[in-house]
Amino acid sequence: MASLNSPRFTMMNIIIGFTIVFALEVGKSNCQDNFFNSTTSPKTLCEMTPYPNACYYIQKEGVNDSLLLYKLSVQLSIQEVLRVSTVLNQTFKDMKDPSLISAIESCQILLSLSLNNLNQSIPTTSFVTPDTQHDFQTWLSAADADLETCIDGFEYATDNIRNIVNQNLDNSTKLISNSLSIISKIDDLIHDDKQGKLRTNGWPPSWLSSEDKSLFLNESKQMKPDIVVAGDGTGNFKTINEAIRVVPPFSPRRFVIYVKKGVYFENVRIGYTKVNVMIFGDGMDQTIVSAKLSNGSGVATFLSATFAVDGSGFIARDIGFYNTAGPTRFQAVALLSTADKSVFYRCRIDGYQDSLYAHSSRQFYRECSIYGTIDFIFGRSSVVIQKSNILVKKPLFGQENTITADLRRSPQFFTGISIQLCNISAAEYLGGARTFLGRPLKSYSTTIFLENVLNSLIDPQGWFYGTPNAVPPDTIFYAEYKNKGPGAVIGGRVKWRGLRLNIPFA
């Protein structure tokens, strides 16, 4: 593979600049020596926010510094999320319905994740660098995604309960949106050469240290794990959950766990305090984590994951994640990541609907095998999937397959899906089911397929909206660029204004 800095990616630079700096903004900026402290007035920044009145409430207290305005906006967001957590606990403490209990449990985890993302987004100095600013934008986008997912968990609740949740989270989402707008506008006004730059240096991701990069280059037998997990009792522990419990919180050093070959029937969650963890196995088909929780069994989609990771800096290599609930159990996640700067290398993610939940933050997948039916690569993250096999399974009778479902709801969020240099094919006979590259679930859904092999399973229309004779908002951004194979023929593609097909360049 050629470097993403090579001349052949010049056109792709323009594509990214034309849309947003999103999923491919997984590396570091080249502007590390630039600092900025905005001279733009707080009042001007408030006027440009999505919810000016909420911003004026802060600004009227005599705030005359833009960075201070941003900081106070984030701090007020934190206070609101803390308040909501308390209110929801008290409001729903006597609920007996299992699906509602699961939604509340999911929401409490998500509120804690949102608080963690918000706390990270507070400046600790009187200036910020471009890199720090991009971090803030990523974490604020993730904090918003956490709240949106909390709301999603109550989709089957009564109107009254949904209204209670929505009303309580309304102020939090507005404040986070304003905070993101303020820090983004400072960036636009002071440092305006960001657009058009592809912020990735290929593989491995440039955020990794030289030591971490060696973890992908060395053979497994050369690795020196801190802990060994073996189901047969030949390691330190028999289960992955036991190993996770001994990982020190917020460790600055890489903590490596080796999981020997075998099938581990457990649901694993690596919390946000467990950072810089690496798990590696004996191969994606040799070391397998398997479970079968599902939305169809009354579990919130966010909690259905066989393997979920929240701790930043996570790495997985040579391991498989399965959800065996099957197509009749609806949403059933095999792998979920909210972990910023997480990397998955030579992993298998196998399920049906919602197999890979790339929930939020920056994620990179390389040489993986991803199986599913409906929306099986979805979320609100900035995710790059490279040189992987994407394999479509047979859905239930009458269903269509949709590979991707991006959930970007606002232009200011740094999110989107990029699928590059992958092979997209059928895992089995599909029984005549149509297969589409994706469907837009939000007004700003953003997905790019570039330089892939699209086999004949891809429907000539390419993309699916779901509502007969309707078109999605013009604000979506879907693109196909230099794909090949029988499924890459674009003559029959849907006529959406938000779909770009092999954009010509001067």
Pair 176, 140: CB distance under 8 Å: yes
More confident position, 22 or 484? 484
Orientation angle between helical segments 130-152 and 66-91, nearest 10 degrees: 20
Query: Do residue 175 and residue 317 come from a single domain?
Result: no
Orientation angle between helical segments 98-120 and 159-190, nearest 10 degrees: 20
Instruction: Work out the burial of residue 232: count CB atoms within 10 Å of its CB; fewer than 13 is exposed, 13-18 middle, 19 or more buried.
Output: exposed
What percent of the chain has pLDDT above 90?
72
Give residue 45's pLDDT: 87
- Is 29 domain-assigned? no
- Is 196 domain-assigned? no
Query: Do residue 281 and residue 141 come from a single domain?
Result: no
232: domain CATH number is 2.160.20.10
**Strand residue runs (E) in 215-355:** 227-229, 255-259, 262-265, 268-270, 277-280, 287-291, 307-309, 315-317, 320-323, 335-337, 342-345, 348-350
CA distance 136 to 71: 11
Query: Do residue 82 and residue 116 come from a single domain?
Result: yes
Give residue 124's pLDDT: 87
Give residue 505's pLDDT: 39
Which pLDDT band, with edges at 50, 70 and 90, does 295 fall under?
very high
Give residue 9's pLDDT: 31
- Is 227 domain-assigned? yes
Instruction: Work out the burial of residue 135: count CB atoms within 10 Å of its CB; fewer than 13 is exposed, 13-18 middle, 19 or more buried.
Output: middle
Query: Do residue 253 and residue 378 come from a single domain?
Result: yes
100: domain CATH number is 1.20.140.40
Known catalytic membership, residue 340: no
Task: Give every CB contact of residue 427 below 8 A, 6+ residues apart in sequence.
Answer: 371, 391, 392, 393
25, pLDDT greater than 80: no
- Is 132 domain-assigned? yes
Please provide residue 341's backbone torsions phi and psi, each rounded to the nearest 5 degrees: 55, 45
Answer with the one of 186, 201, 232 that is the final residue of a domain.
186
Please provide residue 322's backbone torsions phi and psi, each rounded to the nearest 5 degrees: -120, 140
**Residues shown for the chain:** 506
- Is 496 domain-assigned? yes
Task: Give every CB contact of residue 84 below 8 A, 6+ residues apart in sequence.
Answer: 111, 168, 169, 172
Query: Do residue 142 and residue 239 come from a single domain?
Result: no
Answer with the one of 150, 170, 186 that is the final residue of a domain.
186
Give residue 466's pLDDT: 83
Domain span at residue 132?
A: 42-186
Give residue 39's pLDDT: 57
pLDDT tens for 374-418 read: 999 999 999 999 999 999 999 999 999 999 999 999 888 889 999
Core vs surface per residue 72-108: b (16+ CB within 10 A) or e: bbbbbbbebbeebbeebeeebeeeeeebbebbbebbe
Query: Do residue 145 and residue 221 come from a single domain?
Result: no
Give residue 225's pLDDT: 95
Query: Do residue 91 and residue 226 come from a single domain?
Result: no
- Is 310 domain-assigned? yes
Please provide residue 191's backbone torsions phi and psi, each rounded to the nearest 5 degrees: -140, 90
* Domain tally, the chain: 2
Q: Which of 34-43, 196-205, 407-416 has the lowest mean pLDDT?
A: 196-205
pLDDT tens for 314-357 read: 999 999 999 999 999 999 999 999 999 999 999 999 999 999 99
Query: Do residue 106 and residue 250 come from a single domain?
Result: no
Answer with the one of 133, 154, 186 that is the final residue of a domain.
186
Distance of CA 261 to the CA centre of its chain: 28
Would you state the structure tokens that stand for residue 156, as one six-digit string? 């089957």
CA distance 148 to 20: 21
Which pLDDT band, with edges at 50, 70 and 90, does 41 fall under?
confident
Give residue 217's pLDDT: 80
Give residue 38's pLDDT: 54
- Is 14 domain-assigned? no
Query: Do residue 399 and residue 282 come from a single domain?
Result: yes
Query: Do residue 157 and residue 289 come from a single domain?
Result: no
- Is 37 domain-assigned? no
61, pLDDT greater than 50: yes
More confident position, 195 or 413? 413
Query: Do residue 214 and residue 180 come from a single domain?
Result: no
**Active-site residue (options: 187, 375, 406, 459):** 375
Q: Which of 40-54, 276-290, 472-486 has the lowest mean pLDDT?
A: 40-54
- Find the mean pLDDT for residues 458-477: 91
Query: Do residue 272 and residue 391 come from a single domain?
Result: yes
Which pLDDT band, with edges at 50, 70 and 90, does 250 fall under?
very high
